[in-house]
Amino acid sequence: MTHPHPPRRAVLAALGASLLPTLSHSADAPHAWRSSYTPYNGPLKAPLTSGPLPVRGRWPAALQGTLYRIGPARRELGSVAMNHWFDGDGMLQAFRFEGGNLSTVTSPRISHRGALLATPKLTAEEAAGRLLYSGFATTLPNSPPLSGPDDVNPANINLLALPARKELFALWEAGSALAVDPVTLQAQGFKAWSPETRGAPFSAHPRVAPDGTVWNFGYVPGSGKLLVYDIAPTGQLRRQHVLTTEQADMVHDFAITERHLVFLLMPLKFNGQPGAGSPLPHYRWEDKAPLVVLLVGKADFKVQRFELPATGLFHLANAWEEGGTVQVRFVAQPDILTALRHLNVDAPRSTSVAAATQWAHITLNPSTGQARLETPGLAHVEFPRIHPARNGLPTRFTTLLARSPGMDAQVQGFDTVLTLQGDKKPQRHRYGAGWIAEEHVYIPASTTAPEGRGWVLGTAYHWPTERTTLSVFDAQAVNAGPVASVTLPYGLPLGLHGQFVAAGA
C-alpha cells in the first residue's frame, strides 16, 4: 500500500520537526492513524533496532529499566486487509534505559527494539501469503477450521511482567498468554496455567496484588461464565474457579481490593456463536438492563450483586476498601457499542469515540447492599494507570489520557496526558497539533517514595512526520512539559497498553 500524499509528507520531513507546529496538517488528518501501520503491513520483517538515541533535556539518572508496549500492528497481507483497530498482529516494543549514574548524574543509554510476535496465527498466514483468520470486527471468507482460540490469538492487547521470574507474557482477550523472551522479544509459546485451563481465555488485564499474587479472569461471549485465576507469586496456579453470572459477554477489565474481586458487567449482550466469524456484529445493547456489579470474595468466591444505572466501559483504574465501603474508579463509556463499531484506522471521524467518556466513581456498601455511581465532571478521558504496587489499596494518584478541544476532529484518539492527585487541580500536558498520545504509565521514584512522586512515561505519534517520541515527565509537574524525550528514526504502530520493569527487578 502506498501512503497518501507522499509529496507533502516529504516536504514536511525536509522542513524539520521544529517548524511543524506552525503548519496546518488538516489535509493529511484523515490518514493519521493509517500512516502508523502502513510500514508494518506485508511479509514479516526483521525486528526494529534503533541503536542509542539522542536525548533532548535531561533524562532522570534513576529511571532505569525497560518500558514494554504492545498493540495491533500488521493488518494487511496478500491483498487481504483488516481495518478495525483491534484486528492486527501483535507487535511488541521495548524501550530500554540503562547505564545511568546517580553519583555523576549521567543519563542512561536509551534504545528501542520492536518485533512482530510470531504466533501460530502469524506463522500460518506467512506460509499462506495472505491473512486467513477472521478478527474481532472483520470476517474473512473460507477461513481454515480452528482447533481452539489460540489458532487466531494475535497477542496484541497488553503485557504481564513477572520480573522476579524473568517472565514476560503478551496477552489477548480470548485465549492464552503468550510467553515472550524479555530481551529478544521472540515468542516462546502459549502458557498453560493448568491442564484444565490449557487454551482457556486469560484476560488482557490481570491485577498483580501487593504481595505478588496475580489475579485474572477469562470469559467466552454467550457462556454466562467467568473463569477466575489465582496465581501465586511463584507463578503456580493456586486455584481456578468458575462464576455463573449474567452480562458476562464482554468483560475487558476488572479490579481487586484486599478481600475482593470487582467486576462491572455492562448490558452488552452477545447473540452469536463463539468462533463463527467476527463477534462484533453479534453484540447488542440492552436498553433496560442495569450495570451489574459483582463483589467476589477472594477467600471463598462468594458473590454479592449490586445494580447501578447502565453504562459501558473498557478500563478500571483501581478499587479499595475504605470505611466499610468499597471504592471503585473507572472510565465510563455510555455508548460503547458505537465506539467499538467506529474504531476503524482507515476512516476519519467527525466526532471522537473519546467524546462520551466520563471519569466515574462507584461506592459500594456491602452491609446495606447499596451502591452509588457518580461522575465528577472529568470528560473525554481513557487509559487510567495507577501506582503499580497499589492494586487494591487506596489510590490518590492516577494518570490518564485526555482529548483537548483543539484536537483535529478528523483524528481519532487523544493528544493530552493528564494526572489526578487527590483534590488537587488536574495537571495536563497537550502534545499539540499533529500528535496522537498513547497510554502513559506512572513510575514511582522508589519503593518507599510517597504516592505521586516519580515520573510519568509514555509515547506519542507525530503523524505529519510519521515518527514516535517517548517522553518522561516529573509526575508532580506534568504541566511543565517533558523533562526529557527521545524521538525514534521511525514511527511505531499506534498501540494499546504497556508495562515498565525497573532495572534489577
List, for residues 156-215, the tens digit of each pLDDT value. Answer: 999 999 998 899 999 999 999 999 999 999 999 999 999 999 999 999 999 999 999 999
Q: What pLDDT does 61 receive?
A: 92
Q: What is the C-alpha R_g of the chain?
A: 22
C-alpha distances in Å from residue 186, one per residue of 117, 120, 124, 178: 7, 13, 17, 10
Amino acid at 84: H
Q: What pTM value is reported for the model? A: 0.93
Find the angle CA(406)-CA(416)-CA(459) to the nearest 5 degrees.
130
* Mean pLDDT value of segment 382-392: 97
Architecture in CATH for domain 6-502: 7 Propeller (2.130)
Amino acid at 7: P
Measured distance CA(290)–CA(311) in Å, rounded: 8
Measured distance CA(473)–CA(467) in Å, rounded: 20
Q: Which pLDDT band holds residue 281 (cuts at 50, 70, 90)?
A: very high
* Mean pLDDT value of segment 102-128: 89
Whether pLDDT at 410 is above 50: yes
| Cell numbers describing residue 464 | 505529519
Q: What pLDDT does 11 receive?
A: 30
Measured distance CA(347)–CA(146) in Å, rounded: 31
DSSP 223: S
Q: What pLDDT does 2 receive?
A: 34
Q: What pLDDT does 204 receive?
A: 98
Measured distance CA(331)–CA(361) in Å, rounded: 9
Find the angle CA(375)-CA(381)-CA(386) to the nearest 5 degrees.
90
Phi, psi of 440 (to 5 degrees): -110, 140
Q: What pLDDT does 20 receive?
A: 33
Provide the percentage of residues in the chain whose pLDDT is more than 70. Answer: 91
Phi, psi of 111 (to 5 degrees): -145, 165
Whether pLDDT at 349 is above 70: no
* Mean pLDDT value of segment 465-478: 98
